[in-house]
Structure 1
Amino acid sequence: MKKYLFFLLLCTGEYTFAQQIAPLTVEKIMRDPKWMGTSPTNFRWTADSKTLYFNWNPENKAKEELYKVTTSSPKPIKAADKEDEKLLSLNYVYNQNRSLGLVEKSGDIYLLQTKSNKETRLTNTLERESNPIFLVNGNVVYQQGDNLFEIDLKSAETTQLTNFVKGKKAGKAKSQPATEQDQWLKAEQTTLFDIIKKRNSETKGSNRSVRGRFGTPPTDTKSLKELYTEDQFLNEVVISPDGRYVTYKLTTPAQNNHNTIIPNYVTASGYTEDIPGRTKVGENENVSHGFIYDRERDSVYAFQPSTIPGIKDLPDYLKDYPKALDTLKKKNADRPVNLFGPLWNENGTSGIVIATSQDNKDRWVLKLEASTGKFSLIDRQRDEAWIGGPGISGFYQGNTGWVDNNHIYYQSEATGYSHLYVANVSTGEKKQLTSGKWEVQSVQLSKDKKTFYFKANKEHPGITNFFKISVSGGQPIQITMMKGLNEIILSPDEKYVSINYSYMNKPGELYIQPNQVGAKATKVTESTSAEFKSYPWREPDLVSFKNRYGADVYARVYKSEKPHPNHPAVVFVHGAGYLQNVHFGWSTYFREFMFNNLLADNGYTVIDIDYTGSSGYGRDHRTGIYRHMGGKDLTDQADGVKFLVEKYGVNPKHVGLYGGSYGGFITLMAMFNEADVFTSGAALRSVTDWAHYNHGYTSNILNEPFNDPIAYKRSSPIYFADKLKGNLLMAHGMVDVNVHFQDIVRLTQRFIELGKDNWELAAYPVEDHGFVEPSSWTDEYKRIFKLYERTLKK
């Protein structure tokens, strides 16, 4: 019996081991990702900096749960319940000596006495109160609905400061002149009836009596000025810390736009239902205007964008359209701008506004002259491609703030890489604090305002770490040291950092480290499953090569230990365009990472390229696709194949590629315009015509279809469909609200009309842009694998 049990256990163990080392399959890697284990997320410190909360699912339950770890004992434990989160660090706004703090919780305002940690509720209403601040005089201002209210903390009196009124100001109604018929009837009534005479007489006497009794309103009662919003939306209501100026925006919604409709075929009702979609690039934009209400003068006036230096400058691309350029020069109009701010200094003496031109070519850091609405220049960044880069944006104020009452900080790509600057708003003097061929990716000013903490890829484009530097400048000091990607959250007391650390073949895990140079990071979580660990996931070669223009391009290469006799290769093209996937950390494209391992197991060499347009490499790499998507970003893929041929022995006659979204777009362009390089391609959720994509993304890179049709025609695959030679698989979700299914349908019709027969389309009725169902992922990637097996191993 014992021998039998031993034999049974031995066989079971062998069976389990055989399961663990079983080869990768599409079905296995495309399951619900929980099979891999679930990394911790959503890290947040308590106010006392002693405890860190996070979401985690180490037990592979249906949903993740709340966990916590302390700085004194870095062993994660399950939090008792959500009540633990009452201790979380909140985004308090403090007075100048930090003795008092303000915060909004559940739509009410609370006052914190920092020394005693005593909290007092200031409002308790059904309406939401928000955006509390301290005025210089110590009073509190908050917003309720559209209006601002002030609380005198000494007297507890609440005063309304603004009176925004929806609609238009009613003018004095003009009485219509009486017709001859009306006059005759009125005279007749008075003549015929004594009662009419009596009432007319009483009305006149009553009016005189009222005026005599009440007279004019008392002089000590001052009604609030009515600020009419008319038919516009009111937003960004901000008061200066001295209480004098209230700035706000009025926005007119875009008119005559066409929202797209996405049909949903698989519905609970059994009927086709429509999903409302976005507009397309080139549609009209909302129009906003900024205003200032000077409470001291009781007057309202507008911001003056016409005072911004260079407001009339036209973009260089218009030289390709002489007639349009001539017309605009004669018009000599101010370019439309987006204004963000003002950001006020503590004493309320200066306000900073960030302005971006709607043609995406300019970003200004401006000082607001609040008494007039005029601007003076602190910094201007001009880019004939488009403004962007880490900490810089045309859609928000970016990493900008006050160091003290005279100095601000901001980021700029003036040197070709996004770096940190400090400027004196009084003298205009600017100082660059960081420099080099690397990027500052995020910035945080210390509580004592003496130090900047920042994340940067200083060591290598694919390695991020945490640094600090004095606000006066000097050498950056590196705090974290782990080779990979380090996502940092600083504790409120700035004594610790939480680190979400990952490596190329290791998903993210939580570490905690003292905020000190040379301190050791302690690992807190272990998340990956035994099944995931049982496979020896490759650590890809992180390489670089020169493209045909002489620029460095970085890539990951997945080598095959047993290449197929044909020495085939596959190029994976990441999505989003402006995204970095070639780094030493765990990829957000984790399914593709696993699929690339599967391909390498089956004899393919795989390369994943941070092509021109990807993030992490500075301005020139970022904007290298301006006015020609499918230009340098495409030739980088072909140059990557040449690199594989020279360095990895790949057969140039057996190369395929695949990618989703922007990667799908590049795949289409490759199959059309680099047909001699790529035998087969799988284009997933692909943009086929950039004139049908959204405005915010596309107008940056290609301007607008009606003012730069050249850029759209040379950048859109649908115009090159006649050049298809190889084998093309297209896959698209039918309820994709990002890249609409219409995109792939239009290209399909082109293929039909062109008589092409070397393509196929796989449609996924229930999937949006990012697939959700494992069955859809599995079907899609089985088709991709089958395509390569059939066409690249002949």
Structure 2
Amino acid sequence: MRYTFLIFSLVFSLSSMGQTPLAPLTVDKIMRDPKWMGSSPSGLQWSADGRSLIFSWNPANAVADSLYSISPSDKKPVRVTDDQRNLFVPAPSVTYNRERTAYVFTRNGDVFYVEVKSGKQRQVTQTVDNESGAAFSFEGKAVVYSRLQNLYAWDLQSGETRQLTNFRAGDSPSTGAATAVRGAAAGGAARSSDAAASQQEAWLKKDQLEQLEVLKQRKDKKEATDAANKAARPKELRAIALEDRILQSVSIDATGRYISYILTRPATGNKTTIVPNYVTETGFTTDIPARTKVGTTSGVSSLYIFDRIADTVFQLKTDSIDGMRDIPAYVNDYPKLLEEMKKKNAVRIVSFLSPVWSPDGSTAMVDIRSDDNKDRWLMSWTPDDSLRLIDRQHDDAWIGGPGMFGSQGWIDGETCWFQSEKTGYSHLYTYNKRTGKTTALTSGSFEVQQAKLSNDRHSFYISTNEVHPGEQQLYKLTIATLARQRLTPMTGASQVSISPDEKQLAYLYSNATTPWELYLQENKVAANPVRVTDKALSTEFRSYQWKDPEVVGIPAADGKMIYARLYKPANAKPGMPAVFFVHGAGYLQNAHKWWSSYFREYMFNNLLADNGYYVLDIDYRGSAGYGRDWRTGIYRFMGGKDLSDHVDASAWLVKKYGVDPARIGLYGGSYGGFITLMGMFNAPGTFSAGAALRPVTDWAQYNHQYTSNILNEPFRDSIAYRKSSPWYYAGGLKGDLLICHGMVDVNVHYQDAVKLTQRLIELGKDNWELASYPMEDHGFVEPSSWTDEYKRIFKLFERVLKKGQ
């Protein structure tokens, strides 16, 4: 009775506001502009002083989001004015000195210095140039910043500014030319080169000086004057030529002596693609410049150290590092190539991440990556010890996982920290450079997904999924004892922003059926979170009883456990159809307990369940959240284990719920579209209908960074591409296939759909159709496009999977 009354009250409330209840769900209803659903806050940022927290929000359903703010003492959101926004200093944008008594930041291209205790602010620069990267150096006595690719130092006491580097575009200037710039006597350099003179001129000059005393005296006097002038001039700042290279990652150590920088010579000759845009304001077709394809060459990078005191520059050499001449394991499948590479014994091409200097400036931690991304070397560099290995992580597949890029730093002058996947899961480690000892701070069959060192450097704040692969919780980890204390209490996921003084936690929290809302709590164990916002679900959205998908474990044929979201139909009975939703990206997690970024698909899955379908959304091999082996399970064979996981899950549905094996379909976009094609072509006995949205049909047409990690390069590992590209298997199509693709997709190009279309035509297949969307990119924008696409998908499943019912 109470449930009936609540439903009646809700329906009455909606009717009084001129709205109709959401049920029954239709494609037209759920694919509207998402504003109808409600508004979630996003982009949390504490102010540098910790007095306020700002975020983007749209509670009034305006055209665009606006900025709102709260404070720890007043949790009512207030809209931020333009003046307040212009003066706001985000905590992540500031850099503190070692004592945390002062910080620096940049605003509108100028540098500012702030004393924490007094709040006094000083503007360091006021120029038309853009200054950036402000930080403390020279033992905290100066602020160093970048302007026009060069470093400058502002002395805190005197207020004077001096230039520290002299990077110059073009070739290195000669010594004579550099001297001339400083005011050498006119014409002196042009006439003084005895080496360039003929023998006759040299003899004549010598004879003149020997025979004419006045000429000799004048020469001696001039040389003495020039020497005195040169000695009186300030020492010229060393010019460092960039030549045709790109300058990156310039950083200075804490003492102000050493400056590191990376020079990259860009690759040449790489051909880029275009995407035709047919619907334009002018009525003429235009070409959108796009990307290169997998197999293109990379630029060559070098890391240099500039010693300001010794006035020397030297390049960090990597030739002698262990593993620099290793040959990738996959080459064993190509005997001729293997023999060539053994004979050549070449040093591998590497790239560098920006070095991280220790707090005392004595050591730099250098992150070196092989160009094939199968090795990461963390090295320490000191002036007297050159490069020494901290940690080498090798993966025959590719280096990846949480924290593998940029999650590293120093606890003190002796101990650095980093993340590594060497145990099969990404965990947190420390390394002591004096003892050479590596210590694991975390371990187990879970991932450390984020790590942040505390202000006092005695603890870490880490986000992990140790409770369940489908949860994200924040912990405080004490370094000395390795004890962990859970700080976020609610089931689901919490995306936490810690206040600058570490007394408050602001976080976005969601669960499987509730989008993100803002919470605030004290940074204490068992503290009660206070909800700040309550607009993520509109009244209309709440009017429907959304299903809380059950997170289940499904055994794969090889004994591994596949996690999945299961939606069950009402009045379930044997012989009902089933549909798989296949998430995109590959390396992404969707069988979790928080709000999915696939919210449209979540609603569509509810619609399918309402219409008598089981719906299964699995985290197949290659998905995120389950460690290294799961992540790399698709190496050299996309469409292998990731597809067999779906086949195994189909058998599980048939066995456990009596699903009709002849009535199973699947749909998904991007990587999900790719898996749909592989399922329809290679497992026609399992899947009777499939909707492939913006799918990759030939991996040799995709980009380099993503594809080369998984399949290597097509001209070196053609086996992997032949096994992994759907268009080679199009002849296996037996069920009904729908392909949908945006025609201005600059990620997976429309060309992929066109190529597969021609292949299907040549094969004489007639059980497929292509729906093209002339004004859509990879991620659809227009509600009309979403609606058309999902009406076609629903129509396909209703026609094929319910045939004969």
Q: Is 1:763 aligned with 2:763? A: no
5 Å-filtered alignment, 1:229-378, equals 229-370=242-383, 374-378=386-390
TM-score scaled to structure 2, two decimals?
0.91
Cα deviation, 1:633-674, whole Å, max 9, x if unaligned, reads 000011111111122221111010000000000000000001
Asked if structure 1 preserves the Cα contact closer than 8 Å seen for 2:245 and 2:265, the reply is yes
Partner of 1:439: 447
Seen in structure 2, the aligned counterparts of structure 1 residues 369 and 349 have a Cα distance that, compared at 3 Å, is closer
Asked if structure 1 preserves the Cα contact closer than 8 Å seen for 2:461 and 2:474, the reply is yes
Q: How many residues align?
A: 756
5 Å-filtered alignment, 1:394-409, equals 398-409=406-417
Seen in structure 2, the aligned counterparts of structure 1 residues 370 and 661 have a Cα distance that, compared at 3 Å, is farther
Seen in structure 2, the aligned counterparts of structure 1 residues 84 and 290 have a Cα distance that, compared at 3 Å, is closer
Partner of 2:98: 96
Asked if structure 2 preserves the Cα contact closer than 8 Å seen for 1:294 and 1:371, the reply is no
Seen in structure 2, the aligned counterparts of structure 1 residues 669 and 204 have a Cα distance that, compared at 3 Å, is farther
Asked if structure 2 preserves the Cα contact closer than 8 Å seen for 1:566 and 1:793, the reply is no
Secondary structure, in 3 states, of the residue corresponding to 1:757?
coil
* Alignment partners' CA distance in 2, 1:11 and 1:681: 37
5 Å-filtered alignment, 1:381-530, equals 381-393=393-405, 398-527=406-535, 528-530=537-539
Q: Is 1:651 aligned with 2:660? A: yes
Match of 2:391 among 372, 379, 396: 379
Partner of 1:48: 49
Partner of 1:747: 756
Query: Which amino acid is the alignment partner of residue 335 of structure 2?
Result: P
* Alignment partners' CA distance in 1, 2:398 and 2:456: 35
* Alignment partners' CA distance in 2, 1:792 and 1:239: 64
5 Å-filtered alignment, 1:658-737, equals 658-737=667-746
Q: Is 1:112 aligned with 2:114? A: yes
Q: Is 1:620 aligned with 2:629? A: yes
Asked if structure 1 preserves the Cα contact closer than 8 Å seen for 2:363 and 2:381, the reply is yes
Q: Is 1:145 aligned with 2:148? A: yes
Supply the RMSD in Å over aligned alpha carbons: 2.4
* Alignment partners' CA distance in 1, 2:501 and 2:711: 46
Query: Which amino acid is the alignment partner of residue 271 of structure 1?
Result: F
Cα deviation, 1:104-154, whole Å, max 9, x if unaligned, reads 121111111122110111111111111122223412221111211122222
* Alignment partners' CA distance in 1, 2:173 and 2:103: 42
Cα deviation, 1:381-407, whole Å, max 9, x if unaligned, reads 1111111110014xxxx2101111111
Partner of 2:796: 787
Deviation at 1:422, TM superposition (A): 0.8
Cα deviation, 1:40-92, whole Å, max 9, x if unaligned, reads 11111123323221111111111122222222232323334451563444332
Secondary structure, in 3 states, of the residue corresponding to 2:495?
strand
Seen in structure 2, the aligned counterparts of structure 1 residues 541 and 212 have a Cα distance that, compared at 3 Å, is closer
TM-score scaled to structure 1, two decimals?
0.92
Secondary structure, in 3 states, of the residue corresponding to 2:606?
helix
Secondary structure, in 3 states, of the residue corresponding to 1:493?
coil
Secondary structure, in 3 states, of the residue corresponding to 1:19?
coil
Secondary structure, in 3 states, of the residue corresponding to 2:340?
helix
Seen in structure 2, the aligned counterparts of structure 1 residues 364 and 12 have a Cα distance that, compared at 3 Å, is closer
* Alignment partners' CA distance in 2, 1:670 and 1:21: 34
Partner of 1:124: 126
* Alignment partners' CA distance in 1, 2:12 and 2:606: 28
* Alignment partners' CA distance in 2, 1:262 and 1:377: 45
Query: Which amino acid is the alignment partner of residue 281 of structure 2?
Result: A
Query: Which amino acid is the alignment partner of residue 128 of structure 1?
Result: N
Query: Which amino acid is the alignment partner of residue 54 of structure 1?
Result: F
Asked if structure 2 preserves the Cα contact closer than 8 Å seen for 1:44 and 1:88, the reply is no
Deviation at 1:765, TM superposition (A): 0.3
Tell me, which stretches of 5 or more residues in structure 2 are unaligned? Answer: 1-8, 178-188, 191-197, 199-214
* Alignment partners' CA distance in 2, 1:776 and 1:36: 18
Asked if structure 2 preserves the Cα contact closer than 8 Å seen for 1:293 and 1:299, the reply is yes
* Alignment partners' CA distance in 1, 2:802 and 2:628: 40
Asked if structure 2 preserves the Cα contact closer than 8 Å seen for 1:264 and 1:274, the reply is yes
Seen in structure 2, the aligned counterparts of structure 1 residues 730 and 149 have a Cα distance that, compared at 3 Å, is same
Q: Is 1:161 aligned with 2:174? A: no
Deviation at 1:756, TM superposition (A): 0.9
* Alignment partners' CA distance in 2, 1:256 and 1:48: 50
Partner of 1:227: 240
* Alignment partners' CA distance in 1, 2:216 and 2:788: 88
Seen in structure 2, the aligned counterparts of structure 1 residues 206 and 769 have a Cα distance that, compared at 3 Å, is farther
Partner of 1:83: 84
* Alignment partners' CA distance in 2, 1:766 and 1:743: 17
Deviation at 1:371, TM superposition (A): 5.7
* Alignment partners' CA distance in 2, 1:696 and 1:425: 33
Partner of 1:62: 63
Seen in structure 2, the aligned counterparts of structure 1 residues 538 and 213 have a Cα distance that, compared at 3 Å, is same
Query: Which amino acid is the alignment partner of residue 166 of structure 1?
Result: A
Partner of 2:202: none
Secondary structure, in 3 states, of the residue corresponding to 1:111?
strand
More displaced 10-residue stretch of structure 1: 770-779 or 121-130:
121-130
Secondary structure, in 3 states, of the residue corresponding to 2:43?
strand
Seen in structure 2, the aligned counterparts of structure 1 residues 548 and 39 have a Cα distance that, compared at 3 Å, is same
Seen in structure 2, the aligned counterparts of structure 1 residues 717 and 206 have a Cα distance that, compared at 3 Å, is farther
* Alignment partners' CA distance in 2, 1:632 and 1:27: 36
Seen in structure 2, the aligned counterparts of structure 1 residues 283 and 207 have a Cα distance that, compared at 3 Å, is farther
Secondary structure, in 3 states, of the residue corresponding to 2:251?
strand
Asked if structure 2 preserves the Cα contact closer than 8 Å seen for 1:366 and 1:378, the reply is yes
Seen in structure 2, the aligned counterparts of structure 1 residues 550 and 218 have a Cα distance that, compared at 3 Å, is same
Seen in structure 2, the aligned counterparts of structure 1 residues 493 and 720 have a Cα distance that, compared at 3 Å, is same
Query: Which amino acid is the alignment partner of residue 308 of structure 1?
Result: I
Seen in structure 2, the aligned counterparts of structure 1 residues 763 and 121 have a Cα distance that, compared at 3 Å, is same
Query: Which amino acid is the alignment partner of residue 710 of structure 2?
Result: I
Seen in structure 2, the aligned counterparts of structure 1 residues 404 and 170 have a Cα distance that, compared at 3 Å, is closer
Secondary structure, in 3 states, of the residue corresponding to 1:557?
strand
Asked if structure 1 preserves the Cα contact closer than 8 Å seen for 2:19 and 2:540, the reply is no
* Alignment partners' CA distance in 1, 2:97 and 2:736: 66
Query: Which amino acid is the alignment partner of residue 164 of structure 1?
Result: F
Deviation at 1:432, TM superposition (A): 0.3
Deviation at 1:325, TM superposition (A): 1.1
* Alignment partners' CA distance in 2, 1:245 and 1:40: 43
Seen in structure 2, the aligned counterparts of structure 1 residues 79 and 164 have a Cα distance that, compared at 3 Å, is closer
* Alignment partners' CA distance in 2, 1:524 and 1:770: 31
Partner of 1:632: 641
Seen in structure 2, the aligned counterparts of structure 1 residues 140 and 650 have a Cα distance that, compared at 3 Å, is same
Deviation at 1:315, TM superposition (A): 1.4
